[in-house]
A and B are shown apart, each in its own frame.
Chain A
């Protein structure tokens, strides 16, 4: 029972306490749960920092690393070291490449963290953040704007992310309203309603796409996902949704552990499963909707990254959630780096890279560790 009273982000805990945790959550004690989680977490953060650096300094435009560093440092207050760098390079690094790298990182973080949340709440290893219609809703919203022929900008705001966001949120709210029975939210009903609504949105999107041949490319860009037109504006537009959502989710790692027990047991432990489910799903959906609205519906990250993290470091949500966040960011930054460099100066849709690179790695982990031992 001590699990309920302990401070939330538990770093540097004793192995004994970890073992007690594992018992309390009704799971086998796994080697991954032993020892401190901090060294691994710091390693993951270092890998993320390195991937940001590499992704920012490598691209179709060959800009020397030294110039890249100068350009970035010169944006810190009081430092001016980019005098000698051509303005073209400054534009490419600061206005094109860096926002793209950061947006990819933010999207990867959101998708992986939300995926871990969904998997925990639904107690289903197949859950991903698109399970209850966020992606298809976003695609439908964006497609409606694209085929309407309306200008995509409105009072200086880009309509496309707004429409995608509205579509995603509408979809989730509809699914939730349908699945709700009194005060409870049966997860099976939720999944079925989600799949049904997603099929409906996909049908409409496909129809609109086929009806309007001139806009096929724009629609497919949304469906496949791309960071090619990322801007600082898009990055900052997602932050107000992503940051609070991430805070809520990360603070609920412990409750998510309890929730992954039987709901009845959770209730006995003093947790209100309905309220927690609603809060976690709401936060994960909101963050995913914001990410999808600017990045398109990039598949696979939300499913695979949490599983990979689980295979490597165990199922404890207090570690799984932050670790998924960091590893998701790293993974999508590197995937996007590949997307814009393997076929330069052309692009490869990033959703294809995530699948092509992610699947073999995941299968390797699966083979090595046996998911069943953990899930």
Chain B
């Protein structure tokens, strides 16, 4: 019985942990690496250290109605000016589309751009309705409702958009458009998404010269949890034409059998669990992993989980970084 409860919790928390990787302790390191390949045409970059450019919202389209991913229709009378964002990905999107000036408070996993570190913090996983209400927001963006959060806030007259973590790159564009509309930055959102698509296209266009699709194992956790297709991370690998060994499971976040990983013989291993002490050295030292191509050819890479697991503007950076790992010849 304990196990059954745990499994339910596991399923919920898995999605959360992956969608919102990164906690307040990782504030200090917000790398903006991975954009050293400087293509002429597509130079989109979302730099956490750069000052966030904010623009005044366009009020013309208001009042308006938007539907969130939970199916709730939310009516906004005028552009929100006191937004509370409860996920790091949405915070980054809001700043990317020029709505940063309207953000009043963020959750404790949000640490990018640097400007948010000065804002009041709300707990992402057990948010306090009382605390959020006391911030007097006119829009709250959440990615997960631990239970009655949305209805409690709405009962207080606070509009809430429940936007589940996107499971694909297209999902990020969709949420950018939706948040653009809701915040009075439709034009900005469209422009930024266009730049991102261009940058993504630029990366993909260079893949045409790739000899063949490398197989990859993406490690989320020391017990070999991974991300398959149908997740944001899996979609990034799919867009790069990589053969993700977790796809064979048909699950979103499967735990891979050690011997199945060795058998699949990945060309590349990407570690998103450096926080848990894993490194290329520890992977090489794992008994039985010596004959894996990635180990033999020294192609084990460490990626900052924040850039790959936050569905937001840094997906471009994530894509470029992964492209460099998968195709070092094409992305020097």
Chain A residues proximal to chain B, CB less than 8 Å = 59-61, 87-88, 91-92, 94-97, 99-100, 146, 149-153, 209-218, 220-221, 223-224, 226, 228-229, 231-233, 299-300, 340, 343-347, 349, 351-352, 355
Decide: A99 and B287 in contact? CB cutoff 8 A. Answer: yes
Return 27 A-B CB contacts under 8 Å, by A number.
A88-B291, A92-B263, A96-B262, A152-B222, A213-B125, A214-B275, A218-B273, A220-B13, A221-B221, A221-B222, A224-B7, A228-B223, A228-B224, A228-B258, A229-B224, A299-B2, A345-B248, A345-B256, A345-B261, A345-B264, A346-B251, A349-B3, A349-B7, A349-B10, A351-B6, A352-B4, A352-B7
Q: Does B89 contact A (CB under 8 A)?
A: no
A155 to B13, CA, bound (A): 33
Decide: A218 and B16 in contact? CB cutoff 8 A. Answer: no
Decide: B17 and A224 in contact? CB cutoff 8 A. Answer: no
Decide: A216 and B276 in contact? CB cutoff 8 A. Answer: no
A232 to B286, CA, bound (A): 11
A211 to B2, CA, bound (A): 21
The segment from B19-27, B114-122, B148-156, B181-189 found at the interface with A is B19-27
Interface size on B, residues (CB 8 A): 55
Q: Does B60 contact A (CB under 8 A)?
A: no
Q: Does B331 contact A (CB under 8 A)?
A: no
**Which of chain A's residues have a CB closer than 8 A to the CB of B289?**
91
Chain B residues proximal to chain A, CB less than 8 Å = 2-4, 6-7, 9-10, 13-14, 16-17, 20-23, 25-26, 109, 124-126, 220-225, 245, 248-249, 251, 254-265, 273, 275-277, 282, 286-291, 305
A214 with B17, Cβ < 8 A, contacts A88-B265, A149-B275, A347-B257 known: yes
Decide: A212 and B23 in contact? CB cutoff 8 A. Answer: yes
**Which of chain A's residues have a CB closer than 8 A to the CB of B25?**
149
Decide: B21 and A61 in contact? CB cutoff 8 A. Answer: no
Of the candidates B9, B20, B263, B282, which one forms a contact with A213 in the assembled complex, judged by CB atoms under 8 Å apart?
A: B20
**What's the least CB distance linking B248 to chain A, in Å?**
6
Decide: A91 and B255 in contact? CB cutoff 8 A. Answer: no
Decide: B291 and A346 in contact? CB cutoff 8 A. Answer: no
**What's the least CB distance linking A308 to chain B, in Å?**
18
Closest to B18 in A: A217
**Which of chain A's residues have a CB closer than 8 A to the CB of B275?**
149, 214-215
Decide: B276 and A146 in contact? CB cutoff 8 A. Answer: yes
A209 to B14, CA, bound (A): 12
**Which of chain A's residues have a CB closer than 8 A to the CB of B16?**
213, 216
Closest to B16 in A: A213
A229 with B6, Cβ < 8 A, contacts A61-B263, A96-B258, A346-B249 known: no
Decide: A231 and B287 in contact? CB cutoff 8 A. Answer: yes
A213 with B7, Cβ < 8 A, contacts A91-B262, A343-B249, A345-B260 known: no
**What's the least CB distance linking A109 to chain B, in Å?**
21
**Which of chain A's residues have a CB closer than 8 A to the CB of B305?**
214
Decide: A299 and B3 in contact? CB cutoff 8 A. Answer: yes
By CB atoms of chain A within 10 A, which of B257, B276, B290 has the most?
A: B257
Decide: A218 and B259 in contact? CB cutoff 8 A. Answer: no
User: Which 5 pairs show the lowest CB-CB distances between chains A and B?
Assistant: A95-B288, A345-B260, A346-B254, A61-B263, A346-B249
**What's the least CB distance linking B16 to chain A, in Å?**
6
Decide: B262 and A217 in contact? CB cutoff 8 A. Answer: no
